[in-house]
Structure 1
């Protein structure tokens, strides 16, 4: 097999939101690249069982951990569970997030706190747990945070969401700088509008979207499609792998619209 095919053969990863959407796409890609040990963190036990069965059929060993990202203790415990099961973890993908709607004037303190608990505090303590483990065992490691192009500003109805992703972008760079001499890398990918089951539910819940919302959205997109999780997964697994070398602190836009460019 080529180096590309097996570039994550030494990767033991924990993936949040790993039972669906971006997280599951990354898990599948990791297995294709040789990864044999996966911890999927999420809320739905049913989805978790299905995802684990699929990944094991593909040749990996996988476990599902049901946890609330808003609970720091649960996040730290998930890392410990993975270490106990596989002996070590050296990779983390923070893919899960809340994308609840709310403008500046609509967002309540409770909505704001929940957004930051899931989108910032959860990833913070998952990274803390993994980095502590890597430092204690003197291992290199790699982390990827899934952000959003909303880091550049965002729509008016995504005020707290955009702020939370901006906070995680800053945290990505802070962590990258702090642990680079320990060979612990931290990068992020910032996707645009994505085609995921979660987005379909969001469109129906918050925007009363018709069943053909995806077809209409893709027809209007510059490249005729929304971001596909299976395509973006390869970028994330590259960032996790040793092939990405010294890459750290990078925030990579993954979209067909160029930030700062107005019109055509």
Structure 2
């Protein structure tokens, strides 16, 4: 048996965006590493039902909670539903996000609010619910937030998105510091350009990308690929697990570009 085969056997997790993309890949990694209690949060009941059926085939007690993380009431209901079903939760992965485009001068108030409600407010109140439960139970726990390399600066057409990820970056470190002595850990990963179903939609909607955009994009990358969800998921599942020890407040860049570097 490998060292990672059962490292999440005691993990009882909520994963936002868990029915597709990064969230689903994280849920798969957790299940493969022994997690048998998964609450997947998303907006599509159809995708959620399909994901739950997938996990239940392998003996995972998986549930889908239809919720919009941009709404505080939905976040609170999602945590309450997970706790009602499982009795306790000790892990949270905030993978749901919107990467809607907008520059400083083009971003409307409505778009700004939509991005911040989804990318910052949702994770804030989901963490609030999970941490409050852990404090009440005097139990340890682990949170991983999915940020973006854009949190370091971001492109001109990603101003509100980049700013929201920067806010979540500070929130991650603040929560990590606040609850260290309660053994509640909070970390984050910052992936670069990713090959996801959602990215394909974004490229075609916002950038008029051709059908072969992925092949062209990957050919131009130093390592010949974009970040793959299953690769990132294994890092996240490690960070969630007790195997990552005392790791907290860490921001892990996961990309083939190096923040702060200059072309040679």
Question: What is the TM-score normalised by the length of structure 2?
Answer: 0.99
Alignment deviations for residues 210-240 of structure 1 (CA, whole Å, 9 cap, x no partner):
1100000000001000000001111000100
State the SS of the aligned residue for 1:145. Answer: strand
Alignment deviations for residues 180-229 of structure 1 (CA, whole Å, 9 cap, x no partner):
10000000000000000000000011111111000000000010000000
**Conserved? CA contact 1:102–1:158, under 8 Å:** yes
State the SS of the aligned residue for 2:14. Answer: strand
Residue 77 of structure 1: how far off its partner (Å): 1.1
- Matches for 1:1-16 after TM superposition, within 5 Å: 1-16=1-16
- Residue 116 of structure 2 is matched in structure 1 by 116
- Residue 239 of structure 2 is matched in structure 1 by 239
Task: Please provide the CA RMSD for this pair.
Answer: 0.7
State the SS of the aligned residue for 1:227. Answer: coil
In structure 2, the CA distance between the partners of 1:220 and 1:2, relative to structure 1 (3 Å rule), is closer
Alignment deviations for residues 150-179 of structure 1 (CA, whole Å, 9 cap, x no partner):
011000000000000000000000000000
- Residue 146 of structure 2 is matched in structure 1 by 146
- Matches for 1:54-65 after TM superposition, within 5 Å: 54-65=54-65
- Matched residues, number: 264
Residue 70 of structure 1: how far off its partner (Å): 1.1
Q: Specify every segment of 5 or more residues in structure 1 that has no aligned partner in the other structure, as ranges.
A: none
Residue 263 of structure 1: how far off its partner (Å): 1.3
Residue 149 of structure 1: how far off its partner (Å): 0.2
Distance, in Å, in 2 between the alignment partners of 1:96 and 1:243 is 25
Residue 58 of structure 1: how far off its partner (Å): 2.1
Distance, in Å, in 2 between the alignment partners of 1:3 and 1:225 is 28
Question: What is the TM-score normalised by the length of structure 1?
Answer: 0.99
Residue 2 of structure 1: how far off its partner (Å): 3.8
- Matches for 1:181-200 after TM superposition, within 5 Å: 181-200=181-200
Q: Specify every segment of 5 or more residues in structure 2 that has no aligned partner in the other structure, as ranges.
A: none
Distance, in Å, in 2 between the alignment partners of 1:179 and 1:163 is 25
Distance, in Å, in 2 between the alignment partners of 1:70 and 1:195 is 24
State the SS of the aligned residue for 2:13. Answer: strand
- Residue 66 of structure 2 is matched in structure 1 by 66
Query: Does 58-67 or 124-133 show the bigger shift?
Result: 58-67
